[in-house]
Amino acid sequence: MSSSRVRPVRFGLALPQYDFSVVGEHPLTWSTVREVARGAEAIGFDSLWVSDHLFLDIAKYGGSAEPEAAFEPIVTLAALAVELKRVRLGTLVFCEALRPASVLAKALATLDRISGGRIDVGLGAGWYEPEYAAIGMDFPTPGERLARLREALHVLKALLGESGGPLVFDGRFHSTDGARNLPTAVQRPRPPVFIGGKGDRLLRLVAERADGWNTCWVWTPEEYAERRAVLDRECERIGRDPESVWCSLGLYALCGEDEADLERRFERLRESTPAGVLDRVTLEQWRRGRLVGTVEQVQEQVATWGDLGVETLILGVGAVPFHLGAPDDMELLAHAVGVAERAQITG
């Protein structure tokens, strides 16, 4: 691995967003989301993240198949943009089918202005079939979802650019006829737009069209290196410098001051996790593919991810996406990875 790839790793936090996100709180309250976000900024996290679902169940993680309510991401980020003054704000990731690309661009340009240029834009092909049924749309094939994503990416990037259009585009799934997006976004040349996923064809699209790549939430370094190698080859095929791709990675995370404390925190996480998710799962099993360990072990793992070219690690401090096990787990992780100390120095 070339040392030129290694950059200081920055850290994001996946915010609670669903009714399953916080134990004992159903429905999830806005005040909880706001206070977690405030605390994360105060302690030194670099970015905060939400996802894009109309609702979500956690059956695929071993939990209930009952759909749970969700805070809408654009409105959520707009509210946080006013509350928070430093952290970047982003999505993992907007579902292409739920949001016409030109209309999404309009909302995001406004959001970038509200935040003073702190928006990171994640876009994905979609995977949660019940949402498609809810909006009266047949679930597309993987090939069609990728084709839709390619067109949406083109429109979104063009309309988030410095000129804001006009854009004429006649695609199979998306089209515009002289569309203008004014006022434009603050960031120049535009807010970064990355794609979420991991398949070969998606990584080809990342290399050809996107500013960055994200994948979540369970990855070993070996598995990630194999996917990163595919991305590098696709970049080299078209003459793009692979290091120009901003790589972010979401991982479930849990840290202990020592092994005994880690075991205690894992047992507490089990108690605060939706039923079925961690049943019969041991700490040793939970370590694999996650940022889990003592302070020293977590620091070593972060260094490994930095060596693999990960520039932003987004921590899921729970057992399912956008679940928060305990606030002091977030605080210890912040100290372990150094964001708390960095915040004290810069603050």
Sorted by where each begins, the domain ranges of the chain are 1-92+233-347, 95-215
Look at residue 273 in the predicted model and tell me its pLDDT. Answer: 96
Look at residue 3 in the predicted model and tell me its pLDDT. Answer: 40
Look at residue 232 in the predicted model and tell me its pLDDT. Answer: 98
> Cα(203)–Cα(196) distance, rounded to whole angstroms?
9
Closest CA to 309 of 214, 202, 240, 239: 214
321 CB-side CA count, 13 A = 22
CATH class of 1-92+233-347: alpha beta
- Residue 49 and residue 13 in contact, taking contact as beta carbons nearer than 8 Å: yes
Look at residue 8 in the predicted model and tell me its pLDDT. Answer: 87
- Residue 15 and residue 77 in contact, taking contact as beta carbons nearer than 8 Å: no
Task: Kindly report the CATH number that applies to the domain delimited by 95-215.
Answer: 3.20.20.30
Three-state DSSP at 256 gives strand
193 CB-side CA count, 13 A = 30
Token pair in block for residue 112 = 């970038």
Token pair in block for residue 312 = 């932003």
- Residue 337 and residue 298 in contact, taking contact as beta carbons nearer than 8 Å: yes
Token pair in block for residue 252 = 């479930």
Look at residue 15 in the predicted model and tell me its pLDDT. Answer: 98
Look at residue 304 in the predicted model and tell me its pLDDT. Answer: 97
Three-state DSSP at 184 gives coil
Average pLDDT per consecutive 10 residues, the chain (347 residues; last block may be shorter): 64 98 96 98 97 98 97 98 97 96 98 98 97 97 98 98 97 97 97 98 98 98 98 98 98 98 98 95 98 98 97 98 96 92 61
Amino acid of residue 147: A
Which positions ≥6 away from 25 have C-beta within 8 Å? 32
**∠ Cα 188 8 15 (to 5°):** 75
Look at residue 2 in the predicted model and tell me its pLDDT. Answer: 39
Q: How many CB atoms lie within 10 A of CB 332?
A: 23
**246-256 and 193-196 strand pairing:** unpaired
Domains 1-92+233-347 and 95-215 share a fold: yes
pTM of the model: 0.96
